[in-house]
């Protein structure tokens, strides 16, 4: 009995160790690393000079933080209601709140446009927005193989 328990505990520890190693192999990026990669990508793809980038990104990052907070509120509302049985009126109220938060995100974009234009031309701002979209797509594309690999491992287990 003791031998079976020892073998079981050893196998469990081995599984935990292998799982920890697998997680450590996955690329993790801090917020600072993410911001730096995004800035480099946008600077390169939008053709910004170092001087333009240095003046633009503090304002851009300020806007992104505010948008992130609003999007966080949306996710919080969704999370709080997940699995709950709501009435039609409660769903209506929830959807109204989410729509208003999304409008606030878009209003932020519009509010920051003149501030961006003190540094960049409208053509450059348009290029920045396109580069931001490409960066997000690239990020998702690079994450997909890791996600597919994770799903395949789960199917095997």
Assess contact for 67 and 104: CB atoms under 8 A.
no
pLDDT of amino acid 4? 56
Domain housing 40: 30-156
Residue 36 lies in a domain: yes
The number of folded domains in the chain is 1
Nearest Cα residue to 126 out of 139, 117, 135: 117
pLDDT of amino acid 46? 96
Mean pLDDT within 35-44: 94
pLDDT tens for each residue of 97-150: 999 999 999 999 999 999 999 999 999 999 999 999 999 999 888 876 555 555
pLDDT tens for each residue of 43-65: 999 999 999 999 999 999 999 99
pLDDT tens for each residue of 67-105: 999 999 999 999 999 988 999 999 999 999 999 999 999
Residue 98 lies in a domain: yes
Residue 69 lies in a domain: yes
Residue 100 lies in a domain: yes
* pTM beyond 0.75, yes or no: no
How far apart CA 64 and CA 71 sit, in angstroms, is: 10
How far apart CA 46 and CA 13 sit, in angstroms, is: 50
Residue 64 lies in a domain: yes
Residue 57 lies in a domain: yes
Residue 5 lies in a domain: no
Residue 9 lies in a domain: no
pLDDT of amino acid 13? 52
pLDDT of amino acid 140? 86
């Amino acid at each position: 009995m003791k031998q079976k328990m020892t073998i079981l505990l050893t196998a469990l520890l081995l599984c935990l160790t292998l799982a920890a190693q697998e997680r450590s192999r996955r690329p993790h990026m801090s917020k600072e690393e993410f911001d730096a990669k995004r800035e480099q990508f946008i600077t390169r793809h939008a053709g910004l000079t170092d001087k333009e980038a240095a003046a633009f990104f503090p304002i851009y990052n300020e806007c992104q933080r505010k948008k992130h907070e609003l999007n966080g509120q949306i996710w919080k509302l969704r999370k709080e209601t997940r699995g709950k049985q709501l009435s039609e009126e409660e769903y209506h109220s929830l959807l109204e709140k989410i729509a208003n938060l999304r409008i606030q995100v878009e209003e932020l974009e519009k509010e920051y446009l003149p501030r961006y234009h003190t540094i960049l031309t409208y053509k450059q701002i348009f290029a920045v927005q396109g580069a931001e979209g490409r960066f997000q797509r690239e990020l998702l594309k690079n994450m997909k193989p890791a996600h597919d690999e994770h799903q395949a491992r789960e199917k095997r287990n």
